[in-house]
């Protein structure tokens, strides 16, 4: 989407939604705002990366003289109001790429698998202690 947006104009400004903004319409982001800003700032494609505090882009579009606006097609129709400001609005098709929901599920499944492996791989001894067949901890020293 960033490369597509880059092809539409001379200057590419990318807005990064703050954690508070994202949390206002869905689950909080997995990657914190500051890290998302740094990731985008490290890319060569955007010229400017700015925080996005609101879903209403009227003021920022006017202030920065934006004439093209690109957003994922999961927001289809939500930004048509910008056309009244002579802004071309493009809804970029996301397809089946990575979503925050699929990322959360992958992390959760991986964590559950790790826990299950940890439960199955109980240590036989811990600093001189032994775990018996009945899961009782004993000193490991002959009595």
* Inter-CA distances, 45 with 7, 15, 49, 101, Å: 10, 13, 10, 26
What pLDDT, on a 0 to 100 scale, did the predictor assign at position 47?
A: 94
> Using CA atoms, how far apart are residues 45 and 43, in angstroms rounded to an integer?
6
Helix, strand, coil percent content, the chain, rounded in steps of 5: 40, 20, 40
Q: Which residues pair with 125 in a beta bridge?
A: 130
CA angle at 29 for the pair 26 and 33, rounded to the nearest 5°? 125
> Could you tell me which residues come within 8 angstroms of residue 66 by beta carbon, excluding any fewer than 6 positions away?
13, 57, 60, 87
CATH code 3.40.50.620 region(s) in the chain = 2-92
Comparison of pLDDT for 62 and 119, the residue scoring more: 62
What pLDDT, on a 0 to 100 scale, did the predictor assign at position 3?
A: 87
DSSP letters spanning 21-83? HHHTTSSPPSS-HHHHHHHHHHSSS-SEEEEE--S--HHHHHHTT--EEEEEGGGTTTTGGGG
In tens, the pLDDT along 33-72 reads 999 999 999 999 999 999 999 999 999 999 999 999 999 8
What pLDDT, on a 0 to 100 scale, did the predictor assign at position 113?
A: 82
**CATH topology for the 2-92 domain:** Rossmann fold (3.40.50)
In tens, the pLDDT along 57-110 reads 999 999 999 999 999 888 899 999 999 999 999 998 876 566 667 777 777 778
């Amino acid at each position: 989407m960033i490369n597509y947006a880059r092809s539409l104009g001379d200057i590419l400004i990318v807005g990064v939604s703050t954690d508070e903004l994202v949390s206002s319409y869905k689950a909080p982001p997995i990657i914190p705002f500051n890290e998302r800003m740094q990731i985008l700032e490290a890319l060569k494609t955007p010229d400017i990366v700015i925080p996005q505090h609101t879903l209403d882009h009227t003021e920022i579009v006017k202030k920065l003289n934006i004439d093209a606006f690109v957003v994922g097609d999961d927001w289809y129709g939500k930004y048509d109001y910008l056309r009244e400001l002579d802004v071309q609005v493009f809804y970029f098709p996301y397809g089946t790429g990575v979503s925050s929901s699929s990322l959360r599920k992958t992390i959760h499944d991986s964590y559950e698998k790790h826990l299950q492996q940890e439960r199955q791989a109980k240590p036989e001894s811990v600093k001189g202690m032994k775990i018996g067949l009945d899961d009782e901890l004993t000193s490991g020293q002959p009595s």
